[in-house]
Amino acid sequence: MADTVRLDVEDDVATITIDRPDQLNALNVPTLESLGDALEEAEAADARALVLTGAGEKAFVAGADISHMAEMDPEEANEYAQLGHDVANAIEEFPAPAIAGINGYAFGGGMELALACDLRVASERAVLGQTEIDLGIVPGWGGTQRLPRLVGDETARRLIYFGERVDATDALEEGLVGEVVAHDELREHVSELADDLAAQPATALRAAKETINQSHETSLEAGLEFERRTWAGLFGSDDQREGMTAFLEDREPEFE
Ligand code: COA
């Protein structure tokens, strides 16, 4: 793993930190590849929640590496987009919820990584934007697909067409992030949220994530069919037995 990505696993929570602060955590190829490796390691460690954040005081991730992109031809661009898609998909398909702890700038590919997470918590200093239009391109790591699904078609078009940079307050209002906290409290708040998720029944949580993800992929009819099969499949699981028995015995459940 390149030294620009750190993985820490503690108490079932995996924290991945993009650690290239001098370049505002911009994602060059080695960093992106290492991020993919870190996700695999976190999954192998059976993490029950994942946190993605950036090192330093200024940036979450200031985007794909513009110095790398500047001279790319279409074939190289295709490979770079594929790598970005692979990493964003790995976050989206991670078998436990992923939280983006957005500690500063989240532009272009940085915002796209945040979009692939289940939840987004922003520091009051965060600024987000799909700013690719300013570079004469469009989002290429999932932004054209995930942004409209999150904030709706018109807001997504406005953000992408104008490359608008949105501060934390506006991001909250537009539904780009779920909550905004004081900058100094972000790390602890995200850590507590991750701990709370890790304490949830893991099998049920994974089923919830998969079925919600599926809702973006299919017709309502096919999505409901997927939900019904997933729901039924949970019956007989340790989590289901414990959750319902605990309710009937009027006590708190003890999930494994
Ligand atoms: N790719 C490569 N390098 C980047 C980068 C990116 N996306 N974003 C920032 N950097 C580098 C800068 O080149 C600079 O490097 P240097 O010190 O070697 O010259 C360093 O990070 C600090 O950036 P700087 O622009 O000096 O900081 P700032 O505080 O004045 O501005 C931003 C911060 C984020 C507003 C500005 O860097 C910016 O707009 N970056 C591009 C964001 C973007 O368009 N991302 C989408 C890419 S698809």
Which of 198, 214, 240 is the last residue before a domain boundary? 198
pLDDT recorded at residue 253: 93
Do 28 and 46 sit in the same domain of this protein? yes
Output the CA 230–ligand 1 centroid distance in Å.
Answer: 44
Whether 133 maps to a domain, the answer reads yes
Say if residue 201 is exposed, middle or buried (CB neighbours under 10 Å; 0-12, 13-18, 19+): buried
Q: Same domain for 208 and 180?
A: no
- Of the candidates 33, 75, 112, 227, the residue annotated as catalytic is 112
pLDDT (average), residues 125-150: 95
Other C-beta atoms within 10 Å of 21: how many?
15
- Atom 41, ligand 1: residue with shortest CA distance: 62
As given in the structure block, the two tokens for residue 99 are: 């939280």
**Model confidence band, residue 118 (pLDDT cutoffs 50, 70, 90):** very high
Q: 7-11, 17-21, 214-218 — which is least confidently predicted? A: 214-218
Backbone angles phi, psi at 85, to 5 degrees: -65, -45
What is the residue with the minimal CA distance to atom 42 of ligand 1? 62
Domain CATH for 212 = 1.10.12.10
Give the whole-angstrom CA distance, residue 2 versus residue 191. 24
Token pair recorded at residue 214: 């599926």
* Reported confidence tier of residue 220, pLDDT bands at 50, 70, 90: confident
Same domain, 175 and 80: yes
The answer to whether residues 141 and 211 belong to one domain is no
Please provide the average confidence, as pLDDT, over all residues in the chain.
95
Atom from ligand 1 closest to the CA of residue 59: 34
154 belongs to the catalytic site: no
Q: Residue 223: its pLDDT value, please?
A: 82
Q: Is the pLDDT of residue 32 over 90?
A: yes
Ligand 1: centre distance to CA 63 (Å): 8
Q: Are residues 45 and 98 in the same domain?
A: yes
- Cα-to-centroid distance, 22 and ligand 1 (Å): 9
Residue 231's pLDDT band (cuts 50, 70, 90): confident
Out of 19, 66, 135, mutate this one to test ligand 1's pocket (max ligand atoms within 8 Å of CB): namely 66
Angstrom distance (rounded) from CA 135 to CA 11: 42
Q: Is residue 210 part of a domain?
A: yes
* Residue numbers of the domain that contains 162: 5-198
132 is catalytic: yes
Distances (CA, A) of 27 to 20, 143, 154, 178, 232: 9, 16, 28, 24, 41
Q: Quick one: 192 and 206 in the same domain?
A: no
Do residues 120 and 143 share a domain?
Answer: yes
Domains held by the chain: number:
2
Structural contact between residues 179 and 172, judged by C-beta atoms closer than 8 angstroms? yes
| Pocket of ligand 1, beta carbon within 6 A | 23-24, 26, 62-67, 105, 107-109, 131-132, 135
CATH code where residue 146 lies: 3.90.226.10
Cα(134) to centroid(ligand 1), Å = 13
Residue 1 clears pLDDT 80, i.e. is over it = no
Neighbours of 58 (CB within 10 A): 15
Does residue 105 belong to any structural domain of this protein?
A: yes
Query: Among residues 75, 132, 188, 225, which one is catalytic?
Result: 132
Strand-pairing partners, residue 54, are 18
